[in-house]
Structure 1
């Protein structure tokens, strides 16, 4: 396995000793048919497609509403990885199911986007009623990045991070495929322009709702919340597969009643039963946040659609009288 990170225009390659032996004397890819890229989850796949364009092929591991928290590779996925030039993922802390398989593929270029220079990261938060200072933010620094820290890895939900990741990918793809460098940079510039306009437009749309209180089933949305200056939510659970404690449920019910909370949000792949139990007897609607784009069409349009869909869901729910 080869992991890539670009800093100051240079490539630093960290190779296992097996990979070093196998790759001795082998140059980086530069071929007419471009790159073969495998992406882990739909939003990352969309960003990859936006950058690589028609020059290479971009395939996806997790389809539909599959969650990276509990995913198992099939033989077809293993074949995808074996045939690929590069694997793009968020972080092995999120896509832990990939760590063991890629260790046996010494020629595969592996890119963890959590290591992209300039990426804004936030630490994971607690459950219950949060405040704006409940999570510390930091910009990624190669010298201090530690996979043992508890960073919240839903980092693609900040569209500025999406731009940073796309820039990082354009540089890496150009290194792997120098003949396509101009195309990758052109595609990145188009992506950056599109996302910059979307951020500006959504900030204006969401400004009237910045102080609206709300509750979330799973704390997966702080990157979106902080980018658009929304209020910190009440959080039912950090692990969507586990029931919330009675203490947290009671705390949130008091918060809902005292602050006139009208909206609770869940993800489409998780049952609404726990949220329904939380809001039983209260005038609260359940909205859907879809951070993986489970309801969208795969392709370059999916990533901006995910961000747009988050804004639509929030506005539609909290704006009701």
Structure 2
């Protein structure tokens, strides 16, 4: 069963209103939600352009000008994009700011609150003399894979792919857009901020928000139904970014290569993840653009571990109101194929 999305067919492109507010959104999923609410009034601008990871972003002169000229900036918050926090403070002191992670009406998840393989030291793996396949993990600090694991191509060392941190323990997990129920609440907050800024179009914002919330509610229900046949099958992830999607879909991960701190995994964590794959505790490794694909070999050697690619930030999707449903659809399809294969 594929996700069924009710999309109204537009017979003509609606004319944009004169003097529409200048609105800036930080990342693709947030931009998509803002675009849903602004439809028929104006189009928001996007800080992080398509094809660019938010973690690799460097502000261009045009980006600085857009921040300076913005009437409203809608963003996740400093936990997700600390570099943008500094830019907003210096370049957009007069703009109205809507920080979505600070809105009410939804249940945040807390960084470090859940216990998975990436959060534990797994000291029992340090002296696994009866597990020859793990002996090489003792000297694994830079993931060079020396010793008994002769992984072809491992000389790259898994470097350069997990240097992005998302806060510290106790802060809100910033990946909340991956739960459509949260996105529906955010749409309401976006409509409220736009109506305060632009009362002349408040009714349009309200109507658009109601339509978007109905669409997102349907998306959430279809996602849960679609993932239900996968039962208790679990997956490993390149980094710990999917807790909200797990809550929305009913799936669960069995651990991640990199945790929310962005630190490289310890030898004990690598050994534990391999044990999970070898024992059948996880049958899928969910990779993304931030994860070195060589981890599939490292963790999956000798195991029935399939791989799938995900785009949780919509980096490779076309910006606009349809990006958000496409993002959730793509993530669902990747896990459905990987876990159900």
TM-score of the superposition, structure 2-length normalised? 0.76
**Superposed displacement of residue 203, structure 1:** 1.2
Q: 1:147 to 1:172 in 2, by over 3 A?
A: farther
- Counterparts of 1:144-159 in structure 2 under 5 Å? 149-159=170-180
- Radius of gyration: which is bigger? 2
**Superposed displacement of residue 269, structure 1:** 4.1
Match of 1:58 among 44, 63, 67: 44
Q: 1:315 to 1:41 in 2, by over 3 A?
A: same
Match of 1:112 among 99, 108, 113: 99
**Residue 34 of structure 2 corresponds to residue 48 of structure 1:** yes
- Name which of structure 1's ranges 52-61 and 271-280 shifts more when overlaid on structure 2: 271-280
Cα deviation 1:48-78 (Å, max 9, x = unaligned): 0000113123110112343333422111110
**Residue 108 of structure 2 corresponds to residue 121 of structure 1:** yes
**Superposed displacement of residue 201, structure 1:** 1.4
Q: 1:174 to 1:148 in 2, by over 3 A?
A: farther
Gaps of 5+ in 1: 1-30, 132-145
1:68 alignment counterpart: 54
Match of 1:201 among 208, 222, 226: 222
2:81 alignment counterpart: 95
**Residue 106 of structure 2 corresponds to residue 85 of structure 1:** no
Cα-Cα RMSD: 2.2
**Superposed displacement of residue 164, structure 1:** 0.3
- Name which of structure 1's ranges 247-256 and 62-71 shifts more when overlaid on structure 2: 62-71
Aligned residue pairs, count: 276
Cα deviation 1:139-159 (Å, max 9, x = unaligned): xxxxxxx99842211000000
Bigger proportion of residues as strand: 1
Distance 1:249 1:282 in 2: 14
Q: 1:242 to 1:117 in 2, by over 3 A?
A: closer
Q: Secondary structure at the match of 2:252?
A: coil
Distance 1:204 1:276 in 2: 32
Match of 1:35 among 21, 25, 33: 21
Higher relative contact order (CA closer than 8 Å, sequence separation 6+)? 2
Assess if the C-alpha contact under 8 Å between 2:29 and 2:323 holds in 1: yes
Match of 1:263 among 284, 289, 314: 284
- Name which of structure 1's ranges 212-221 and 70-79 shifts more when overlaid on structure 2: 70-79
TM-score of the superposition, structure 1-length normalised? 0.80
- Name which of structure 1's ranges 53-62 and 307-316 shifts more when overlaid on structure 2: 53-62
Q: Secondary structure at the match of 2:108?
A: strand
Gaps of 5+ in 2: 1-16, 121-166
Q: 1:127 to 1:67 in 2, by over 3 A?
A: farther
- Counterparts of 1:227-306 in structure 2 under 5 Å? 227-238=248-259, 242-306=263-327
